[in-house]
Amino acid sequence: MIKFEHIGLRYGIGPEVLTDINFTLEPGSFHFLTGQSGAGKTSLMRLMYLGQRPTRGAINMFGHAINTTPRAALSEIRQKIGVVFQDFRLLNHMSSFDNVALPLRIKGTPEKQIKKDVTELLEWVGLGDHMDTLPNTMSGGQQQRVAIARAVITRPRLLLADEPTGNLDDEIGIRLLNLFEQLNKMGTTTVIATHDHHLIERFGYPRMVLDDGSLHIEKHGSWIRKKLEGVF
Protein backbone atom coordinates (compact mmCIF):
# COMPACT_ATOMS: atom_id res chain seq x y z
CA MET A 1 0.00 0.00 0.00
CA ILE A 2 1.22 3.51 -0.82
CA LYS A 3 -0.07 6.32 1.33
CA PHE A 4 0.62 10.05 0.97
CA GLU A 5 -0.58 12.21 3.87
CA HIS A 6 -0.56 16.00 3.76
CA ILE A 7 2.38 16.05 1.37
CA GLY A 8 3.76 19.40 0.40
CA LEU A 9 6.75 20.06 -1.84
CA ARG A 10 8.62 23.20 -2.64
CA TYR A 11 11.96 23.70 -4.37
CA GLY A 12 14.28 25.95 -2.40
CA ILE A 13 12.45 29.02 -1.19
CA GLY A 14 9.97 28.97 -4.07
CA PRO A 15 6.21 28.43 -3.75
CA GLU A 16 4.78 24.96 -3.03
CA VAL A 17 4.45 22.98 -6.26
CA LEU A 18 2.43 20.33 -4.46
CA THR A 19 0.02 21.32 -1.73
CA ASP A 20 -1.48 18.98 0.82
CA ILE A 21 -1.52 15.85 -1.32
CA ASN A 22 -3.46 12.97 0.22
CA PHE A 23 -4.12 9.62 -1.40
CA THR A 24 -3.86 5.91 -0.84
CA LEU A 25 -3.02 3.39 -3.55
CA GLU A 26 -4.21 -0.08 -2.69
CA PRO A 27 -1.98 -2.99 -3.76
CA GLY A 28 -2.82 -4.02 -7.30
CA SER A 29 -4.61 -0.77 -8.18
CA PHE A 30 -4.24 0.95 -11.57
CA HIS A 31 -4.39 4.73 -11.93
CA PHE A 32 -3.81 7.27 -14.61
CA LEU A 33 -2.18 10.48 -13.42
CA THR A 34 -3.28 13.48 -15.44
CA GLY A 35 -3.10 17.20 -15.22
CA GLN A 36 -2.08 20.15 -17.26
CA SER A 37 1.55 20.89 -17.98
CA GLY A 38 3.22 22.34 -14.90
CA ALA A 39 0.56 20.89 -12.58
CA GLY A 40 3.24 18.91 -10.71
CA LYS A 41 2.94 15.43 -12.27
CA THR A 42 6.66 14.92 -12.56
CA SER A 43 7.20 16.23 -9.02
CA LEU A 44 4.60 13.81 -7.68
CA MET A 45 6.20 10.98 -9.64
CA ARG A 46 9.61 11.93 -8.19
CA LEU A 47 8.17 11.69 -4.69
CA MET A 48 6.65 8.32 -5.53
CA TYR A 49 9.87 6.82 -6.85
CA LEU A 50 11.76 8.32 -3.90
CA GLY A 51 13.81 10.65 -6.06
CA GLN A 52 12.84 13.54 -3.84
CA ARG A 53 11.96 14.04 -0.20
CA PRO A 54 8.76 16.00 0.54
CA THR A 55 9.00 19.33 2.32
CA ARG A 56 6.22 18.25 4.65
CA GLY A 57 3.85 15.36 5.23
CA ALA A 58 4.32 11.61 5.57
CA ILE A 59 4.80 8.91 2.93
CA ASN A 60 4.24 5.26 3.64
CA MET A 61 5.35 2.70 1.06
CA PHE A 62 5.05 -1.06 1.38
CA GLY A 63 4.73 -0.71 5.15
CA HIS A 64 7.74 1.61 5.55
CA ALA A 65 7.36 5.14 6.87
CA ILE A 66 9.72 6.82 4.40
CA ASN A 67 10.37 9.83 6.63
CA THR A 68 11.86 7.64 9.35
CA THR A 69 13.39 4.91 7.21
CA PRO A 70 17.21 5.03 7.23
CA ARG A 71 18.65 6.24 3.92
CA ALA A 72 20.50 2.95 3.38
CA ALA A 73 17.24 1.00 3.56
CA LEU A 74 15.59 3.10 0.84
CA SER A 75 17.55 1.26 -1.91
CA GLU A 76 15.68 -1.91 -1.11
CA ILE A 77 12.34 -0.06 -1.37
CA ARG A 78 13.42 1.52 -4.70
CA GLN A 79 14.15 -1.97 -6.06
CA LYS A 80 10.42 -2.67 -5.69
CA ILE A 81 9.56 0.29 -7.91
CA GLY A 82 9.79 0.27 -11.69
CA VAL A 83 10.02 3.65 -13.38
CA VAL A 84 9.61 4.63 -17.02
CA PHE A 85 11.05 8.11 -17.27
CA GLN A 86 9.68 10.63 -19.73
CA ASP A 87 13.16 11.13 -21.22
CA PHE A 88 13.85 7.35 -20.98
CA ARG A 89 17.20 7.84 -19.23
CA LEU A 90 18.87 4.97 -21.06
CA LEU A 91 22.60 4.47 -20.72
CA ASN A 92 23.99 5.09 -24.18
CA HIS A 93 27.27 3.27 -23.61
CA MET A 94 25.39 0.01 -23.01
CA SER A 95 23.45 -2.23 -25.34
CA SER A 96 19.66 -2.38 -24.98
CA PHE A 97 20.19 -5.83 -23.41
CA ASP A 98 22.49 -4.41 -20.72
CA ASN A 99 20.12 -1.50 -20.10
CA VAL A 100 17.24 -3.86 -19.43
CA ALA A 101 19.47 -6.19 -17.39
CA LEU A 102 20.62 -3.35 -15.11
CA PRO A 103 17.91 -3.61 -12.40
CA LEU A 104 18.45 -7.37 -12.25
CA ARG A 105 22.21 -6.96 -11.91
CA ILE A 106 21.67 -4.43 -9.12
CA LYS A 107 19.48 -6.99 -7.36
CA GLY A 108 22.20 -9.62 -7.79
CA THR A 109 20.24 -11.96 -10.08
CA PRO A 110 22.37 -14.78 -11.59
CA GLU A 111 23.56 -14.04 -15.15
CA LYS A 112 21.90 -17.15 -16.57
CA GLN A 113 18.53 -15.98 -15.31
CA ILE A 114 19.21 -12.43 -16.54
CA LYS A 115 19.95 -13.71 -20.05
CA LYS A 116 16.74 -15.72 -20.14
CA ASP A 117 14.45 -13.01 -18.73
CA VAL A 118 15.90 -10.09 -20.67
CA THR A 119 15.93 -11.95 -23.99
CA GLU A 120 12.32 -13.02 -23.48
CA LEU A 121 11.13 -9.53 -22.58
CA LEU A 122 13.02 -7.77 -25.38
CA GLU A 123 11.53 -10.21 -27.87
CA TRP A 124 8.10 -9.55 -26.40
CA VAL A 125 8.44 -5.78 -26.88
CA GLY A 126 9.61 -6.39 -30.46
CA LEU A 127 13.29 -5.67 -29.91
CA GLY A 128 14.62 -9.20 -30.25
CA ASP A 129 16.81 -8.09 -33.14
CA HIS A 130 18.17 -5.08 -31.28
CA MET A 131 19.65 -6.65 -28.17
CA ASP A 132 23.18 -5.43 -28.95
CA THR A 133 22.09 -2.10 -30.33
CA LEU A 134 23.20 1.05 -28.56
CA PRO A 135 20.17 3.15 -27.50
CA ASN A 136 21.36 6.35 -29.18
CA THR A 137 21.14 4.64 -32.56
CA MET A 138 17.53 3.54 -31.97
CA SER A 139 14.32 5.40 -32.82
CA GLY A 140 12.34 7.18 -30.08
CA GLY A 141 9.77 4.40 -30.02
CA GLN A 142 12.42 1.71 -29.71
CA GLN A 143 14.15 3.60 -26.90
CA GLN A 144 10.82 3.91 -25.11
CA ARG A 145 10.27 0.18 -25.34
CA VAL A 146 13.74 -0.46 -23.88
CA ALA A 147 12.90 1.95 -21.03
CA ILE A 148 9.62 0.14 -20.39
CA ALA A 149 11.32 -3.25 -20.48
CA ARG A 150 13.87 -2.01 -17.95
CA ALA A 151 11.08 -0.80 -15.66
CA VAL A 152 9.13 -4.06 -15.70
CA ILE A 153 11.94 -6.63 -15.84
CA THR A 154 11.97 -7.08 -12.06
CA ARG A 155 8.16 -7.40 -11.83
CA PRO A 156 8.02 -4.40 -9.48
CA ARG A 157 5.39 -3.92 -6.80
CA LEU A 158 4.84 -0.37 -8.01
CA LEU A 159 5.14 0.69 -11.63
CA LEU A 160 5.38 4.39 -12.41
CA ALA A 161 5.39 5.50 -16.02
CA ASP A 162 5.69 9.07 -17.19
CA GLU A 163 4.10 9.41 -20.66
CA PRO A 164 5.09 5.86 -21.60
CA THR A 165 3.24 5.84 -24.91
CA GLY A 166 4.21 9.31 -26.04
CA ASN A 167 6.47 8.23 -28.89
CA LEU A 168 4.66 5.06 -29.86
CA ASP A 169 2.08 4.41 -32.52
CA ASP A 170 -1.38 3.42 -31.28
CA GLU A 171 -0.94 -0.29 -31.84
CA ILE A 172 2.31 -0.58 -29.87
CA GLY A 173 0.97 1.84 -27.25
CA ILE A 174 -2.04 -0.37 -26.62
CA ARG A 175 0.17 -3.46 -26.61
CA LEU A 176 2.36 -1.92 -23.92
CA LEU A 177 -0.64 -0.83 -21.89
CA ASN A 178 -1.75 -4.45 -22.09
CA LEU A 179 1.62 -5.43 -20.66
CA PHE A 180 1.08 -2.96 -17.82
CA GLU A 181 -2.39 -4.45 -17.28
CA GLN A 182 -0.94 -7.95 -17.14
CA LEU A 183 1.61 -6.86 -14.57
CA ASN A 184 -1.15 -5.09 -12.68
CA LYS A 185 -3.20 -8.27 -12.60
CA MET A 186 -0.17 -10.04 -11.13
CA GLY A 187 -0.27 -7.55 -8.26
CA THR A 188 1.79 -4.58 -9.47
CA THR A 189 0.32 -1.27 -8.39
CA THR A 190 0.45 0.92 -11.50
CA VAL A 191 0.41 4.67 -11.99
CA ILE A 192 0.69 6.04 -15.50
CA ALA A 193 1.10 9.73 -16.10
CA THR A 194 -0.36 10.60 -19.47
CA HIS A 195 -2.10 13.26 -21.50
CA ASP A 196 -3.58 10.69 -23.86
CA HIS A 197 -7.33 10.92 -23.23
CA HIS A 198 -8.06 8.19 -25.77
CA LEU A 199 -5.95 5.79 -23.75
CA ILE A 200 -7.60 6.86 -20.49
CA GLU A 201 -11.04 6.40 -22.06
CA ARG A 202 -10.12 3.07 -23.60
CA PHE A 203 -8.77 1.50 -20.43
CA GLY A 204 -11.06 3.40 -18.10
CA TYR A 205 -9.08 3.20 -14.87
CA PRO A 206 -9.47 5.84 -12.12
CA ARG A 207 -7.71 9.12 -12.70
CA MET A 208 -5.54 11.02 -10.27
CA VAL A 209 -5.98 14.58 -11.43
CA LEU A 210 -3.42 17.17 -10.45
CA ASP A 211 -4.67 20.69 -10.63
CA ASP A 212 -2.56 23.61 -9.50
CA GLY A 213 -0.59 21.49 -7.02
CA SER A 214 -3.64 19.75 -5.53
CA LEU A 215 -4.80 16.22 -6.25
CA HIS A 216 -8.16 14.57 -6.48
CA ILE A 217 -9.09 11.10 -7.66
CA GLU A 218 -11.85 10.64 -10.21
CA LYS A 219 -13.43 7.28 -10.70
CA HIS A 220 -13.98 7.12 -14.43
CA GLY A 221 -17.43 6.11 -15.76
CA SER A 222 -16.18 3.04 -17.64
CA TRP A 223 -14.15 1.94 -14.62
CA ILE A 224 -17.23 2.17 -12.40
CA ARG A 225 -19.14 0.19 -15.01
CA LYS A 226 -16.43 -2.51 -15.05
CA LYS A 227 -16.41 -2.55 -11.26
CA LEU A 228 -20.19 -2.97 -11.14
CA GLU A 229 -19.97 -5.71 -13.79
CA GLY A 230 -17.50 -7.48 -11.54
CA VAL A 231 -14.58 -7.36 -13.94
CA PHE A 232 -12.16 -6.66 -11.03
Partner 1 sequence: MAGFGKLIFWRRRERMIGKASRSRRFDIALENAQGTGFLALLVGLMCFLVMIAVAASFALSAMSERWSSGLENKITIEIPAETANGDPRDKKTLTALSEQVQAMLAEIPNIKSIEPLSDADVSELVKPWLGEDLPLSDIPLPALISIETHNSDDANLDSLSVKLKNISGNIRLDTHEDWLLHLLRFTKTLQLTTFLISLIVGITTIIAIAGAVKARLAVLGEQIELLHLIGATDRYIAKQFQTYSFFVSLKGSIIGALVCGVFLLFIGMLFGDMAANLLPDFHLSFRQVMLLCCVPIIISFFAMMTARHTVMSALGKLP
How far is Cα 56 from Cα 51, in angstroms, rounded to an integer? 15
- Sheet (strand 158-162) strand order: 81-84, 158-162, 189-193, 30-35, 207-211, 214-218
Whether the CA torsion 215, 166, 104, 179 is positive or negative: it is positive
- Locate the DSSP E strands across 153-206: 158-162, 189-193
Which three-class secondary structure string do you get for 81-130? EEEECCCCCCCCCCCHHHHHHHHHHHHCCCHHHHHHHHHHHHHHCCCHHH
SS3 152: helix
Q: Which of 6, 107, 155, 198 lies at the binding interface for partner 1 (CB under 8 A)? A: 107
Can residue 94 be called a binding residue for partner 1 (CB under 8 A)?
yes
Q: In angstroms, what is the minimal distance from the CB of 19 to partner 1?
A: 20
| Nearest Cα to Cα of residue 122 among 92, 94, 153 | 153
Q: In angstroms, what is the minimal distance from the CB of 204 to partner 1?
A: 30
Can residue 105 be called a binding residue for partner 1 (CB under 8 A)?
yes
Cβ distance to partner 1 smaller for residue 17 or 200: 17
Q: In angstroms, what is the minimal distance from the CB of 143 to partner 1?
A: 13
Q: Which of 52, 86, 119, 184 lies at the binding interface for partner 1 (CB under 8 A)? A: 52
Q: In angstroms, what is the minimal distance from the CB of 94 to partner 1?
A: 6
Cβ distance to partner 1 smaller for residue 142 or 200: 142
Q: Which of 3, 23, 28, 50 lies at the binding interface for partner 1 (CB under 8 A)? A: 50
* Number of residues that this document lists for the chain: 232
Q: In angstroms, what is the minimal distance from the CB of 219 to partner 1?
A: 31
Restricting to residues 118-137, which ones interact with partner 1 according to CB under 8 A? 132-134, 136-137
Residues binding partner 1 (CB under 8 A): 49-53, 71-72, 74-76, 78-81, 83, 89, 91-95, 97-98, 102-103, 105-107, 132-134, 136-137, 150
